[in-house]
Structure 1
């Protein structure tokens, strides 16, 4: 005799299995799931059935897909305060995340006309250019690029090379405190190279922050630009951000 009880659709069983994997910690926030081909082999079905099951978790907000990159376990966006004192390591630590920076470039070069104007320099003056990737719990969340005037900050290049971050580097050469004089936020799309560094797709949304930091004498000590992955960071503004870390 045949069992007349209704059977669970295969796509639903796949969704349930993947949901259990997430609950048991088999995949953590930010992890990439196996490819459709690998999941199809695991469950003994075709890719269309796998895609149907994964789409259920996407609708539930448990998984996010990126065109050309695959499916990833959704992460909770990191709150990142923007105020008079912006400190990368302190901001992430306060959000319960592990901060890390991966340098890409550290060099001394001549400032462009636009850079000199922003930093209050003469065209042709030297700056230290520092760029890299900011990570939270090992996941890239932003690309940063900072410029420092060498005439005001002798030794900054060596200090950055040996420090964990900008605050520590500036402190080591005598800049005990600095604050944000201005900030500008703009929505942009990721270029191919930015997408590669951030492990996202080209054209994905980014939040670009441009800011000038000044020392206690109100002299510019840093001009920085940061491109945040739009789905991984929530920029917050508020009076409490002016509190000194």
Structure 2
């Protein structure tokens, strides 16, 4: 005799129904969730059970509550990041940094806020990716990316002092076209071309400070992305250490498979 699937607790069933409403946009971003009384009547249950269902959706980052106003479907501004070489070159051709160009192509306004530019000892992971000894001085550019005034990610860019010193990379201000415009400028001091990226992703829950600074609701994880850029000789140019709330980005990777000989 086959085993029966255990029945979910009532509040989980009601949360599933509301989650489905949100997923198929019967309840859209910014919409007010029906009142506890309305939902209790809909599901023929108690207000206490409805409160547990709403609390579950809140912990998942789907719903936000405002004192005296009720619960609302949480708006989720998203930037679709396409990992493909042709896309990178197309975005670079706009004269904007890659992230800003990607957001602009989707009708959004991205701003990069400089938090700090300084020399620091290379952390172990960064040193390994940049090909330098641990604690070797490197230049770091710490930034906060926002889209339509919503914090989207922290990005720390690391560069060898040999590459960065004496260029705009080591200066604490924004760079027109981004750091890669400096690296690839044929009339500039570096004159190297970006040829390849390698990304390492780690998904985890944010620390309390990270959740506060990036306005991350309970239950939403973050992606830590280490992205290393290499030149045509296979030498590392840059390591970006990004902390990205997972409810605000869609990553799409296009992987070209060589045709066998």
TM above 0.5, one fold? Answer: yes
2: CA distance, partners of 1:89 / 1:176: 22
Question: For residues 108-147 of structure 1, what are the structure 2 equivalents within 5 Å?
Answer: 108-147=119-158
1: CA distance, partners of 2:124 / 2:103: 34
Count of aligned pairs: 191
Q: Where in structure 1 do 4 or more consecutive aligned residues deviate above 6 Å?
A: none
What residue in structure 2 maps to residue 163 of structure 1?
A: 175
* 1:219 and 2:235 matched: yes
1: CA distance, partners of 2:245 / 2:229: 22
Deviation of the 1:156 alpha carbon: 4.7
* 1:99 and 2:110 matched: yes
Deviation of the 1:148 alpha carbon: 0.6
- Do the aligned partners of residues 198 and 157 (structure 1) sit closer, same or farther apart at CA in structure 2, a change above 3 Å counting? same
2: CA distance, partners of 1:196 / 1:178: 35
1: CA distance, partners of 2:249 / 2:100: 14
Question: For residues 58-97 of structure 1, what are the structure 2 equivalents within 5 Å?
Answer: 64-65=63-64, 73-84=74-85, 85=88, 87-97=98-108
Contact 1:131/1:146, CA 8 A, preserved across alignment: yes
- Do the aligned partners of residues 200 and 66 (structure 1) sit closer, same or farther apart at CA in structure 2, a change above 3 Å counting? farther
1: CA distance, partners of 2:230 / 2:137: 18
Deviation of the 1:223 alpha carbon: 1.0
Contact 2:110/2:147, CA 8 A, preserved across alignment: yes
Structure 1: state its 5+ residue gaps: 1-28, 34-47, 241-245
Deviation of the 1:72 alpha carbon: 6.5
TM-score (norm 2): 0.60
Structure 2: state its 5+ residue gaps: 1-28, 33-46, 92-97, 257-261
2: CA distance, partners of 1:114 / 1:207: 16
Alpha-carbon RMSD across the aligned residues, in angstroms, is 3.8
